[in-house]
Amino acid sequence: MSTFLLIHGAWHGGWCWEKVVPLLEERGHEVVVADLPGHGDNHVPVPEVTLAAYGDHIAGVLDGQTEPVVLVGHSMGGLVISEAAERRPEKIGLLVYLTGFLLPNGGTLFEMAQTDGESIVFPNADVDEENGVVKIHEDRAKDVFYGDCSDEDVEKAKERLIPQPLAPFVTPVGVGEAFGRVRRTYIECLQDRAIGPATQKRMYTGLPCEKVVSMGTSHSPFLSEPEELAGHLDSLARL
């Protein structure tokens, strides 16, 4: 069986995986969930929250693992797992981008998002440059992230969303030969309104993946279809 290390996306924390963790454990896997700096219980001031800080933090978590892990990154977490792969390729058996940003060296999340005509994130967000954060309009969070989730799950999630530090959005990802040695796969979400399906496809064809799995969900299958997601992750781990 495998060890999974699960990385959340922007505005979220490790809490978003709470439905998936027991399902993977039931299948015999070990699961580690990380809070990125400035998220969840990892309390770091906004000025210290950078893409490098994200990558360094996950590299430190990887250092604590005895075997190579299946490293899963959701949304912005895709940037983080790429950075981690460049730092610790020997610690990762497989990368899984869950509707995640899979960018070439020098690419930024903000640049990719600006070309995504299907995404409704930035029309429903406020950029607070003075405080260095981006805030999602609370009344539109369901449309952006949780279109097929239950009302109960949406309300619980909205209570835990945080202002997202801006720096990781505009920092170029740094990947090279080490990242290129690590096997990678992609799970696309076909009803996603945060990262449009066309943009997901553009990313996983631009940097081809060993396998692409499709889910007919919104941006948050860990809430709307956790059983299906756990099944896909289990299957990918066995490739």
* Per-residue pLDDT of the chain in tens (239 residues, 90 and over written 9): 999 999 999 999 999 999 999 999 999 999 999 999 999 999 999 999 999 999 999 999 999 999 999 999 999 999 999 999 999 999 999 999 999 999 999 999 999 999 999 999 999 999 999 999 999 999 999 999 999 999 999 999 999 999 999 999 999 999 999 999 999 999 999 999 999 999 999 999 999 999 999 999 999 999 999 999 999 999 999 99
Q: How far apart are CA 179 and CA 167, in angstroms?
A: 22
The structure tokens listed for 195 are 């990262």
pLDDT at 166: 97
Chain CA centroid to CA 61, Å: 16
Q: Please report, as a single letter, which amino acid is at residue 38.
A: G
pLDDT at 191: 98
CB of 109 closer than 8 Å to CB of 169: yes
Question: pTM, whole model, 2 decimals?
Answer: 0.98
Q: How far apart are CA 5 and CA 211, in angstroms?
A: 19
pLDDT at 178: 98
pLDDT at 59: 98
Residue 146: is it exposed, middle or buried by C-beta count within 10 angstroms (0-12/13-18/19+)?
A: buried
